Amino acid sequence: FSPPLLPRKRIKVDAERKKTFVLKMPMELTQSRIQKIWLPNDNRPALPRRSCGPQLANSPTVIVMVGLPARGKTYISKKLTRYLNWIGVPTKVFNVGEYRREAVKHYSSYDFFRPDNEEAMKVRKQCAMAALRDVKLYLTEEAGQIAVFDATNTTRERRGMILNFAKENGFKVFFIESVCNDPTVVATNVMEVKLSSPDYRDCNSTDAMEDFMKRINCYQASYQPLDPDDYDRELSLIKVIDVGRRFLVNRVQDHIQSRIVYYLMNIHVQPRTIYLCRHGESEFNLMGKIGGDSGLSNRGKKFALALNKFVEEQNLKDLKVWTSQLKRTIQTAEALQLPYEQWKALNEIDAGVCEEMTYEEIREQHPEEFALRDQDKYYYRYPSGESYQDLVQRLEPVIMELERQENVLVICHQAVMRCLLAYFLDKSADEMPYLKCPLHTVLKLTPVAYGCRVESISLNIEAVNTHRDRPEEAKKGPNPLMRRNSVTPLASPEPTKKPRINSFEEHVAVSSALPGCVPQEVPTQMPGQ
Amino acid sequence: SPARELTQNPLQKTWEPYDNGLPAGHSAQRGVCMTNCPTLIVMVGLPARGKTYISKKLTRYLNWIGVPTKEFNVGQYRRDLVKKYKSFEFFLPDNEEGLKIRKQCALAALNDVRQYLSEENGHVAVFDATNTTRERRETICKFGEENGYKTFFVESVCVDPEVIAANIVQVKLGSPDYVDCSNDEATEDFMKRIECYKNSYETLDETLDKDLSYIKIMDVGRSYLVNRVMDHIQSRIVYYLMNIHVTPRSIYLCRHGESELNLKGRIGGDPGLSVRGKEFAKSLAQFINEQNIKDLKVWTSQMKRTIQTAEALGVPYEQWKVLNEIDAGVCEEMTYEEIQENYPLEFALRDQDKYRYRYPKGESYEDLVQRLEPVIMELERQENVLVICHQAVMRCLLAYFLDKPAEQLPYLKCPLHTVLKLTPVAYG
């Protein structure tokens, strides 16, 4: 026990053991106005900042993907990054293929990847180095916590180079290898994400497929899989075999690696659909009151019946239905005449002392709280209640189980639905509290390529509007990179080297406001790399 | 058809459908996890590889999170049948009498498994035996299929002689089998016992066992092989097994110092420390200093009283919202007398079933366990930790470590100004 040196301390010398330790007056604490976190009044620079949540990671970590082309490395990279950002760990993907496309403006053929193509080998190595330089920048100067280095990394030599790089910079390294020899899986991957790649913009599908298969071949001879039994015994790694049938895990070093392993072991690639909606309009909704545990209004009951019809029309195999433990979601589920599971974790955000008040009443009786909430809606915690940040923490097991499941309908609440939606659509903490989740509208989410397609379906039953836009005068939220504490969902940062299809970026900008609009299908993530 | 009416269960405050006054249909309450078929966990491994350690620990964890689980140790059945253990010769592969008895014991244990899972509402049974041959495992798989159980194997593989020797010292020398032997005699006999199994040991194989669901734990958790995880509970089991370790360490549990509301006999709230509470904080600092703990982590809740207590220690600490005291809902900041006066029904209900009782607009002990599960998981990962928390929270954590059932949990004694020091030893 060696206490840190502090200013203004009273030092007592222990006569028997000649050890000095510090006896302080228990400090005065003040509760931060927005987050309601108790902090000591002084600002001791010497003491490491006490965090407000479990420490998720200390040294930055480089996650190194390993595997032949079309084994799902980019899929895993993007999905994992989205998850880590959502739980508040700043994470970014560095895709070497994108660096290569920047460097070599036009892709001609698989010849580029032939092992005897010395010119190309030089370029490819340069791209890897450039990506690593950006990794270093992100982790040391941009407050990044985890960098996902997405490339084939199929040789020991290349991995050795990365390990040295990490050692020089004090980064931890965790390898994720995807091994798959099932030709059907590989072919499906090629069709899903390769044929539409910028590399094959000017090719037809057959030619593209043929070229890509030859590209894979170029790597095969020199491929040295990770060998945790012997050569790679000391490395921290997970080998994902046959799309998750089997895993080999070696030397998990810390909490975040343990969470990553758990996440990877729960995700799957089976096609399925997730439906998100709120309970039908409630009595309190009609009165403009927030929170509480009221039942459905007449219109809310109509919605429940309409939802029943909608679900039937979807003709799904094995739909699981989840609700919260509040009456209004359960009443809604009852109309479906299907078994459903009640999750307390899906309960609406607890508004503490403001429960069952209208916004006018809050503004009157708690004017300061009212203003603070608009200032920083993500971090703002109601007195004796919760914040969106708290919600994310309690919803994490729901997300994990959603990943395990197949077809699921989640009947929940406005703030809860925004949190879940932000996970699926990769929205930042800043945007999350303003996502549009109107009553009587179902969001249908389907995984596609590297992301999630969202369809907004209004069931055409009138309801009050409970959405409040971000006020114009409100101070803009904090810089997403500034970590106030460990749970701060960030949208996965733009890849450093942007894909060259610019028209898709406009679609992305529009889609962030999409839920709540007229039903349409818009890819919210860009396919291809 | 008209929607069924919902009524709120007065104890747990959960909404349940009723049809003509009778509880209807199936609205499942998700506890921490749902299991549909019962699951049979089958341990695999040579003696002294930690099978019983894992069985007991896993059983304790699953019961704590609300999954009724029981372990069936075949060695125990053998001890009940063969009153006195003589020597390793009982385990020789050519000892027909021995083999007969051992098979009998395995079948008796499986029979009890069936009773537990199919008749006694058990969800998970842990079948703790060596199960080192493919033949034995196939018998068990068939048994599982016949009864509609999912089977999940947990194999522990370890060749490090130091680990094995340490295991023998920790748990074998004190076994009833060796009650009349010296340590040296016992060790020698046990090593020969292990040899009896080695020739016929068929480890879980990548190809031959590719259709089984299993986890292979290598070298006490250095690496893992996980094959075909079938469902949620298996996924949770794998996650748990991958987070536990056997490095010696201590966990310290205590409550915040006495608070201003404690003094007034009021529950909940977010008060600061009383004068005596501050004294406790200082004493705690001294106590911790004297313990001379390597790399101690300190965790608090996000309530003022635990943070004030931690501040006196002068070391970094982490604030966890999930360590906050149980939410007493409408009863927050009341005295028990006031509760009895204003909410007599609630007061009575709480005494009826204190574990499941949920305060109106508040929480139950059952809810607490669910929100504390990540704390337990992280405690398993960590080494030396001091958790400064609250009465109900501390009872939940303590119940996990001391394997106390739900009925006892809300009555565990956790007085103010008292530190509980927990050190793993043998199987507990």
Catalytic residue of the set B325, B346, B363, B366: B325
Per-residue pLDDT band at B362 (split at 50, 70, 90): very high
Q: Does A309 touch chain B (CB under 8 A)?
A: no
Measured CA to CA, the distance from residue A347 to residue A328 in angstroms comes to 10
Please give the structure tokens belonging to residue A495: 């890849």
Terminal-to-terminal C-alpha distance of chain B: 55
Domains of chain B listed by start with CATH number: 39-242 (3.40.50.300), 251-422 (3.40.50.1240)
Give the gap in angstroms from C-alpha A477 to the nearest C-alpha of chain B: 23
Contact at CB, A342 and B229, closer than 8 angstroms: no
Of A23, A53, A330, the CB nearest to B6: A330
Contact at CB, B318 and A51, closer than 8 angstroms: yes
Task: Identify all chain B residues contacting A333, using CB atoms and an 8 Å cutoff.
Answer: 27
Give the other-Cβ count within 10 Å of B321's Cβ: 21
Give the other-Cβ count within 10 Å of A419's Cβ: 29
Average pLDDT, chain B: 94
Coil, strand or helix at A189: helix
Helix axes B275-291 and B304-311, enclosed angle (nearest 10): 50
For residues A17 and A31, the answer to whether their CB atoms sit within 8 Å is: no
Tell me which of B225, B243, B288, B303 to substitute to probe the interface with A (most A C-beta atoms closer than 10 Å): B225
Measured CA to CA, the distance from residue B428 to residue B426 in angstroms comes to 6
Angle at A337 between CA A336 and CA A341, to 5 degrees: 85
Coil, strand or helix at A392: helix
| Rg of the Cα atoms in chain A | 26
- A73-87, B169-183, B254-268: segment of lowest average pLDDT: B169-183
Give the other-Cβ count within 10 Å of A230's Cβ: 6
Q: B248 pLDDT exceeds 60? A: yes
Give the gap in angstroms from C-alpha A327 to the nearest C-alpha of chain B: 6
Instruction: Give the model's pLDDT for residue A157.
Output: 96
Task: Name B217's Cβ contacts closer than 8 Å, sequence gap at least 6.
Answer: B54, B154, B155, B156, B157, B224, B241
Contact at CB, A335 and B4, closer than 8 angstroms: no
Of A1, A55, A252, the CB nearest to B288: A1
Give the other-Cβ count within 10 Å of A493's Cβ: 18
**DSSP element (H, E) containing A527:** none
Contact at CB, B227 and A245, closer than 8 angstroms: yes
Q: B33 pLDDT exceeds 90? A: no
For residues A378 and A490, the answer to whether their CB atoms sit within 8 Å is: no
* ipTM, interface predicted TM-score of the complex: 0.95
Contact at CB, A393 and B312, closer than 8 angstroms: no
Instruction: Give the model's pLDDT for residue B34.
Output: 58
For tokens 């990540």, what's the residue?
B374
Instruction: Give the model's pLDDT for residue B332.
Output: 98
* Residue B253, beta-bridge partner list: B387, B420
Binding site members of A for substrate:
278-285, 328
**Annotation says A348 is catalytic:** yes
Domains of chain A listed by start with CATH number: 61-265 (3.40.50.300), 274-474 (3.40.50.1240)
Instruction: Give the model's pLDDT for residue A525.
Output: 34
pLDDT digits (tens, 9 = 90+) for A361-390: 999 999 999 999 999 999 999 999 999 999
For residues B312 and A26, the answer to whether their CB atoms sit within 8 Å is: yes
Instruction: Give the model's pLDDT for residue B91.
Output: 95
Instruction: Give the model's pLDDT for residue B83.
Output: 87
Measured CA to CA, the distance from residue B268 to residue A118 in angstroms comes to 71
Q: What is the mean pLDDT of residues B326-342?
A: 97
Q: Does A7 touch chain B (CB under 8 A)?
A: no
Chain B: residue whose CA lies nearest to A14: B286
Instruction: Give the model's pLDDT for residue B20.
Output: 66
Closest among B39, B17, B20, B40 to B29, alpha carbons compared = B17
Of B1, B238, B370, the CB nearest to A265: B238
Measured CA to CA, the distance from residue B260 to residue B277 in angstroms comes to 9
B 114-133 → A contacts, CB under 8 A: none
**Annotation says A366 is catalytic:** no
Give the gap in angstroms from C-alpha B3 to the nearest C-alpha of chain A: 6
Of B293, B304, B361, the CB nearest to A1: B293
Q: Does A5 touch chain B (CB under 8 A)?
A: no
For residues A107 and A199, the answer to whether their CB atoms sit within 8 Å is: yes
Binding site members of A:
278-285, 328
For residues B410 and B399, the answer to whether their CB atoms sit within 8 Å is: no
pLDDT higher at B248 or A16 = B248
Give the gap in angstroms from C-alpha B21 to the nearest C-alpha of chain A: 16
Contact at CB, B222 and A50, closer than 8 angstroms: no
Instruction: Give the model's pLDDT for residue B386.
Output: 98
Measured CA to CA, the distance from residue A228 to residue B219 in angstroms comes to 13
Task: Identify all chain B residues contacting A340, using CB atoms and an 8 Å cutoff.
Answer: 27-28
For residues A484 and A455, the answer to whether their CB atoms sit within 8 Å is: no
| Rg of the Cα atoms in chain B | 25
Contact at CB, A250 and B34, closer than 8 angstroms: no
Chain A: residue whose CA lies nearest to B307: A38
Measured CA to CA, the distance from residue A400 to residue A155 in angstroms comes to 33
HSE of A283, CA atoms in CB hemisphere, 13 A = 9
Closest among B404, B377, B401 to B32, alpha carbons compared = B377
Closest among B12, B21, B64 to B400, alpha carbons compared = B64
Q: Is B260 annotated as a binding residue?
A: yes
Instruction: Give the model's pLDDT for residue B19.
Output: 74
For residues B189 and B178, the answer to whether their CB atoms sit within 8 Å is: yes
Terminal-to-terminal C-alpha distance of chain A: 52
Q: Say if residue A266 is exposed, middle or buried (CB neighbours under 10 Å; 0-12, 13-18, 19+).
A: buried
Catalytic residue of the set A98, A279, A366, A431: A279
B 337-366 → A contacts, CB under 8 A: 361
Task: Name B122's Cβ contacts closer than 8 Å, sequence gap at least 6.
Answer: B38, B68, B69, B70, B116
Measured CA to CA, the distance from residue A95 to residue A529 in angstroms comes to 8
Chain B: residue whose CA lies nearest to A389: B321
Instruction: Give the model's pLDDT for residue A483.
Output: 36
Distances (CA, A) of A439 to A276, A307, A417: 11, 12, 11
Q: What is the mean pLDDT of residues B53-73?
A: 97
Q: What is the mean pLDDT of residues B243-262?
A: 97
* Residue A202, beta-bridge partner list: none
Closest among A250, A293, A60, A9 to A168, alpha carbons compared = A60
Q: H-type helices in A191-240, by residue range?
A: 205-220
Measured CA to CA, the distance from residue A37 to residue B192 in angstroms comes to 60
Q: Does A325 touch chain B (CB under 8 A)?
A: yes
Of A21, A266, A390, the CB nearest to B321: A390
Helix axes B365-381 and B391-402, enclosed angle (nearest 10): 60
Closest among B310, B322, B324 to B385, alpha carbons compared = B310
Measured CA to CA, the distance from residue B113 to residue B128 in angstroms comes to 11
Instruction: Give the model's pLDDT for residue A487.
Output: 46
Tell me which of A12, A50, A305, A320 to substitute to probe the interface with B (most B C-beta atoms closer than 10 Å): A50
Residue ranges of chain A with pLDDT lower than 50?
1-24, 44-52, 475, 477, 479-488, 497-529
Measured CA to CA, the distance from residue A349 to residue A352 in angstroms comes to 9
B 228-267 → A contacts, CB under 8 A: 228-229, 232, 235, 238-239, 242-243
Q: How many residues does chain A have?
A: 529
Catalytic residue of the set B71, B123, B155, B256: B256
Catalytic residue of the set A98, A177, A192, A348: A348
Contact at CB, A26 and B6, closer than 8 angstroms: no
Task: Identify all chain A residues contacting B385, using CB atoms and an 8 Å cutoff.
Answer: none
Strand-strand pairing, A19-23 and A10-14: antiparallel
Q: Does A27 touch chain B (CB under 8 A)?
A: yes
Measured CA to CA, the distance from residue B198 to residue B193 in angstroms comes to 9
Q: Is B66 annotated as a binding residue?
A: no
Give the other-Cβ count within 10 Å of B131's Cβ: 22
Residue type, B390: H
Task: Identify all chain A residues contacting B281, using CB atoms and an 8 Å cutoff.
Answer: 26
Tell me which of B319, B333, B371 to substitute to probe the interface with A (most A C-beta atoms closer than 10 Å): B319
Q: What is the mean pLDDT of residues B28-41?
A: 71
pLDDT digits (tens, 9 = 90+) for B190-199: 999 999 999 9
Contact at CB, A26 and B308, closer than 8 angstroms: yes
Q: What pTM does this model have?
A: 0.90
For residues A498 and A527, the answer to whether their CB atoms sit within 8 Å is: no
Count each helix (H run) and each strand (E run) in chain B, helices first. 14, 15
Contact at CB, B318 and A50, closer than 8 angstroms: yes
List the beta strands (DSSP E) in B230-296.
251-255
